[in-house]
Amino acid sequence: MRGKRYLCALKCTDMTIINTLQQAVSQAVETLYGAAVEAETIQVNTTPAEFTGDFTIVVFPMVKLARKAPDVVGAEIGAYLQERVPEVHQYNVIKGFLNLELTADFWQRFLLEEASTPEFGRQARKGEKVMVEYSSPNTNKPLHLGHVRNCLLGWSCSQILDAVGYDVIKVQVVNDRGVAICKSMLAWQKFGNGETPESSGKKGDHLVGDYYVLFEQKTKDEYADWQKSEAALAAYAGRQQQDQSEEAFFKAYKNKWFNEQSGLGAEVRDMLLRWEAGDPDTIALWKQLNSWVYAGFDATYAKMGVDFDKLYFESDTYLLGKDIVEDGLKKKVFYRKEDGSVWVDLSDAGYDEKVVLRADGTSVYITQDLGTARMRYKDFGCEQMIYVVADEQNYHFAVLFEVLRRLGEPYANGLHHLSYGLVELPTGRMKTREGTVVDADDLIEEVISIARGQAEEYGALEGVTAPEREDIFRQIGLGALKFFMIKVNPKRKMIFNPEESVDLQGQTGPYIQYSGVRINGLMQRVEQEGVDLTPAKAYTDFQPQEKELLKGLYEYPGIIQTAAAEYDPSHLANYCYNLAKSFHRFWHDLSVFNAADPEARAFRLELSRAVGQVLRSGMGLLGIEMPQKM
RNA sequence: GGCUCCGUAGCUUAAUGGAUAGAGCAUCUGACUACGGAUCAGAAGGUUAGAGGUUCGAGUCCUCUCGGAGUCACCA
């Protein structure tokens, strides 16, 4: 069971106030109405700000058992709780909602003993391993906007799973072989004149990507020339659909032409064959270009702040899966057709028949994934594997997981496709051929420079050294970009408009960072002036703005659990925003350092410290840094 | 066509079956001689695509309709 419970504070093995209330309500129903209600099923939420109270119990489900009106049931249970649970200070009932106000002592202890600890929100180690696969680029071109979303999701999910106690192994599959990289190789060989990243000053992945584009361009030129030839006219004359225009025909014909008539097509196929045969010169060329690409990728990953524990290379795994095919045949999960190809029939599960091994005995895409899954389990013994891959591959993963289940793989029930919507431009999907791809490096530079421009306008960093300033611009720019991408539900398709610069105001990363900067300012003064915080314990008359923050802090552990259970960091992003918003309001409405009495000052400082720590922790799980100044 | 997903203010979006659908941007109006104004407050903006149903209660679950996307390769 993967239940969602927002309100599951700190250590789940301990009794939390939520558990206490659930138990007490269950007893109340038993005592008052002689009916049994399982404690775990009782809904306890934090009370919305517009009502008085801290926690709210939904009494509707108990109404039928009691055979009384909702407000009567609420009042009776409320009275029972106030009597038996020391933490319950007061209660009120509105319709079917029982709002409970807890004692100041409860909140004091929560703030000072739980929320202030560095481990607040993190769970004990489970001793279970989870593998998260993300990024998984092709090596023929640099990373782009889509990879950015993928990396942020994958990396953040890894952190969140770690926080709830899993041992996480971050991996990527590097698609380093195949026709795509051969195109770059061929173009570089023919037209490159020995260009290297050193000679041209280009980043390696960009250099290789440029040759991929060049290959496509040269092919296009060749095709345009060919279209004037006798053979082309003959092909058009013999076309299937007589009403087809010449333009439409040649557009549709391009693949066939490339495979059968193009000179470059023949050359690139030849290169792929030589690669597969292990031709030393081809392998050397391949290694050379890929090494440039990896250096480029490493730089981009470092800038994004993501990393991996292990890399799987497709050149090592593309032949895998043959043994799993044999296994499947033995188990009668697969069957062989007359031509020798091997299939799996999933029509009873609502899918199609899928080929898992070609007639010539070579692997297809899914065969690699079957073999790789088994290899990973052997490598790490992970009970769960999460694949961060765009939603265009939903069907592929549904089939993959179904096949692994039928094969009885021990990890088959721990597989999850973290499917996310493609990032599109206002003009539609990004297309390499049309040059509309938003490059990851460019994008990162862009957001940093926006942050730089904005900061210079504010002029708040005057006493800061230049390198420190640059680091702050980087933190703000990346904070804005990361928050922008991660605050929306992963499965939602997202439109990115490069014309509209990334916002720094409102519901953004910098908004949250700014609340941290304010808190940091307070903490520095506490340090400098040696403020005594012990009077905090004597503060009991909480203001609504303070209560809002306390309730917000209380929700943090449950939010992490929800984010982990749903593999969805956006919950955490929205949580951080809401907490920062509450803090800004608190800051505006109440004096912290200049509070009227030492008790209020000490308490508000403690509260601010805890908020700052939770924000740093929560944003950290999203891969967003909190600058000291901005 | 089959299967899957999506449709919430002008735009971007939130909401474990629970209270008056919550924010941000954009628009308009206000707020520091007080801890940092990348802030705060207010106004305006919604038939949650539409129609039925289940439920004490539906943006959320079920059915149908409309609109959009993805996928249905011996490509990856």
CATH number at residue A408: 3.40.50.620
pLDDT of residue A386: 97
CA–CA separation, A26 and A38 (whole Å):
6
Q: How many CB atoms lie within 10 A of CB A583?
A: 25
The integer distance in angstroms from the CA atom of A41 to the C1' atom of B57 is: 17
Residue A467 lies in a domain: no
CB A292 within 8 A of CB A207: yes
What number of CA atoms fall less than 13 Å from residue A232's CA on the CB side?
A: 19
Q: Are residues A352 and A368 in the same domain?
A: no
- What's the angle, vertex CA A125, arms to CA A123 and CA A128, rounded to 5? 125
CA–CA separation, A611 and A619 (whole Å):
12
CA–CA separation, A118 and A121 (whole Å):
9
pLDDT of residue A428: 83
Check whether residue A590 has its CB closer than 7 Å to nucleic acid strand B. yes
Over residues A541-564, mean pLDDT:
95
User: Would the pLDDT of A615 be above 60?
Assistant: yes
Which nucleotide's C1' is closest to A460 (Cα)?
B36
Q: Are residues A350 and A304 in the same domain?
A: no
* Residue in the block written with tokens 């270009």: A289
List, in sequence order, every residue forming a beta bridge with A354; answer none if it has no partner: A344
Residues 388-427 on chain A lying near strand B, CB distance under 7 A: 391-396
pLDDT digits (tens, 9 = 90+) for A386-411: 999 999 999 999 999 999 999 999 99
Q: Are residues A287 and A163 in the same domain?
A: yes
Q: Out of A424, A444, A474, pick the residue that ends a domain.
A: A424
pLDDT of residue A164: 97
| Owning domain of residue A341 | 322-360
The integer distance in angstroms from the CA atom of A425 to the C1' atom of B64 is: 34
CA–CA separation, A528 and A185 (whole Å):
61
Residue A587 lies in a domain: no
pLDDT of residue A159: 98
SS3 A356: strand
User: Would the pLDDT of A366 be above 90?
Assistant: yes
pLDDT of residue A238: 82
Share of chain A above pLDDT 70, in %: 97
Share of chain A above pLDDT 90, in %: 82
pLDDT of residue A246: 84
User: Would the pLDDT of A244 be above 70?
Assistant: yes
Q: Out of A409, A424, A439, pick the residue that ends a domain.
A: A424
CB A27 within 8 A of CB A21: no
Residue A316 lies in a domain: yes
Phi, psi of A307 (to 5 degrees): -150, 175
User: Would the pLDDT of A11 be above 50?
Assistant: no
The integer distance in angstroms from the CA atom of A621 to the C1' atom of B16 is: 22
Q: Are residues A155 and A278 in the same domain?
A: yes
Strand B bases near protein CB (under 7 Å) are 3-6, 12-20, 23-26, 34-41, 56-57, 69-76
pLDDT of residue A8: 43
pLDDT digits (tens, 9 = 90+) for A441-482: 999 999 999 999 998 888 888 888 999 999 999 999 999 999
pLDDT of residue A537: 93
pLDDT of residue A247: 82
Check whether residue A95 has its CB closer than 7 Å to nucleic acid strand B. yes
The integer distance in angstroms from the CA atom of A146 to the C1' atom of B5 is: 19
Residue A626 lies in a domain: no
Check whether residue A55 has its CB closer than 7 Å to nucleic acid strand B. no
CA–CA separation, A602 and A108 (whole Å):
12
Over residues A249-260, mean pLDDT:
87
Q: Are residues A93 and A223 in the same domain?
A: no
Check whether residue A336 has its CB closer than 7 Å to nucleic acid strand B. no
Find the CATH number of the domain harbouring A55: 3.30.1360.70
Cβ-in-10-Å burial (0-12, 13-18, 19+) of A358 comes to middle
Confidence of residue A413 (pLDDT cuts 50, 70, 90): very high
pLDDT of residue A280: 96
What is the residue-wise DSSP string for A527-572?
HHHT---GGGGG-----HHHHHHHHHHHHHHHHHHHHHHTT-THHH
pLDDT, mean over chain A? 92
User: Would the pLDDT of A4 be above 70?
Assistant: no
The integer distance in angstroms from the CA atom of A70 to the C1' atom of B16 is: 22
Residue A138 lies in a domain: yes
Confidence of residue A166 (pLDDT cuts 50, 70, 90): very high
CA–CA separation, A369 and A373 (whole Å):
6
CB A480 within 8 A of CB A510: yes
- Do the bridges between strand A384-390 and strand A415-420 make them parallel or antiparallel, or are there none, so unpaired? parallel
CA–CA separation, A184 and A207 (whole Å):
9
pLDDT of residue A1: 26
Check whether residue A625 has its CB closer than 7 Å to nucleic acid strand B. no
Highest mean pLDDT out of A65-69, A94-98, A286-290:
A286-290
SS3 A603: helix
Query: Measured in whole angstroms, how far is the alpha carbon of residue A298 from the centre of its chain?
Result: 19
CA–CA separation, A594 and A609 (whole Å):
16
Confidence of residue A498 (pLDDT cuts 50, 70, 90): confident
Check whether residue A588 has its CB closer than 7 Å to nucleic acid strand B. yes
User: Would the pLDDT of A13 be above 70?
Assistant: no
Residue A298 lies in a domain: yes
pLDDT digits (tens, 9 = 90+) for A177-227: 999 999 999 999 999 999 999 999 999 999 999 999 999 999 999 999 999
pLDDT digits (tens, 9 = 90+) for A500-548: 878 899 999 999 999 999 999 999 999 999 999 999 999 999 999 999 9
Q: Are residues A184 and A332 in the same domain?
A: no
CA–CA separation, A225 and A245 (whole Å):
18
Q: Are residues A228 and A340 in the same domain?
A: no
Residues 466-505 on chain A lying near strand B, CB distance under 7 A: 476, 487-489, 491-495, 503-505
Residue A242 lies in a domain: yes
Of A384 and A236, the one with more pLDDT? A384
Q: Are residues A190 and A180 in the same domain?
A: yes
The count of structural domains within chain A is 3
Q: Are residues A409 and A306 in the same domain?
A: yes
Residue A491 lies in a domain: no
Helix axes A598-621, A509-529, angle to 10 degrees: 140
Over residues A88-97, mean pLDDT:
94
Q: Are residues A217 and A345 in the same domain?
A: no
Check whether residue A355 has its CB closer than 7 Å to nucleic acid strand B. yes
Cβ-in-10-Å burial (0-12, 13-18, 19+) of A461 comes to middle
Q: Are residues A145 and A248 in the same domain?
A: yes
Q: Are residues A226 and A285 in the same domain?
A: yes
Over residues A566-578, mean pLDDT:
97
The integer distance in angstroms from the CA atom of A540 to the C1' atom of B39 is: 27
pLDDT of residue A15: 63
Q: Out of A390, A424, A458, pick the residue that ends a domain.
A: A424
